[in-house]
Amino acid sequence: MMPRAKKSFSQNWLNDKSVIKKIIAAAEIQTGEAVLEIGPGTGLLTEALVEAGASVTAIEMDVSLIEPLQEKFGDRINLIEGDALAVADPLENISYKLIANIPYAITSDILYTFLTRTHKPTHLILMVQREVADRILAKPPKMSLLSVMCQMYATCSKVTNVPRGAFRPIPKVNSAVIMLETKDAGDAESTITLAKQGFSSRRKQLHKNLSALPEIDSEMVKTWLTELGLDPRVRAENLTVDDWVRLTHMYSKNRRQNT
């Protein structure tokens, strides 16, 4: 019998095995490969991961699910009770993939935590709200701070769309499975900090938002944008990740020259 989903944990149980097969196929799991699962819930995805040969470490915050999961899997998985955003890294120094049907309420927190940590997964294969998936995968002129962050740290792609009926209880939103293959992001934090200021007021042109930063003004930003081949009146959502990286280099160079 399927346990009762709790709104407090943003629980919606994935019960469509065809979707799970697509997740497993995208993961390309090698026998013995370490996989971290956040929120195993009823264990349906967990079972598929185990059957695919993964060495699964699962973190579950809902204490009422711990005993059923222990009874179902025994020592076939490493089950940890706790908050995935707070527990110590259980796979320290081990190459691993993060594969999960995550609670949608903490999607941004999970992405930021696992993309920015020193020991990050090689891949994140996650079930997210479809609207969020579209934002992550966006291109100009629909970029957002979320898309800049994710695309700075990873190569992002969609595995499949998932209808509401694939879950119990049925959620109010459609979903999608995305894959983020992590990469060397260089000085990503500086770029994201600049982008955060650039997106601070979506209705304003970028040069006006960035002029609030130390040691630059609107005219200087307009000059940089022109050098990048962009309209000096452009808004933040029109810049690619490469544009943000180059703009960050210009800003950093200017700051060094003024110190």
What are the tokens at 148? 């800049």
What are the tokens at 185? 């992001």
The SS3 assignment for 147 reads helix
Number of Cβ within a 10 Å radius of residue 54: 25
Looking at residue 154, its amino acid is A
| Euclidean distance between the first and the last CA atom of the chain, given in angstroms as a whole number | 66
| Digit-coded pLDDT (tens) for 117-129 | 999 999 999 999 9
| Digit-coded pLDDT (tens) for 70-81 | 999 999 999 999
Q: What average pLDDT does the chain have?
A: 93
Q: b/e per residue, 92-104, with b = 16+ CB within 10 A?
A: eeeebbbbbbbbb
Domains of the chain and any CATH numbers: 7-182 (3.40.50.150), 188-257 (1.10.8.100)
| Digit-coded pLDDT (tens) for 167-204 | 988 889 999 999 999 999 888 999 999 999 999 998 99
| Digit-coded pLDDT (tens) for 131-145 | 999 999 999 999 999
pLDDT average, residue stretch 144-157: 97
Q: Is the pLDDT of residue 33 over 80?
A: yes
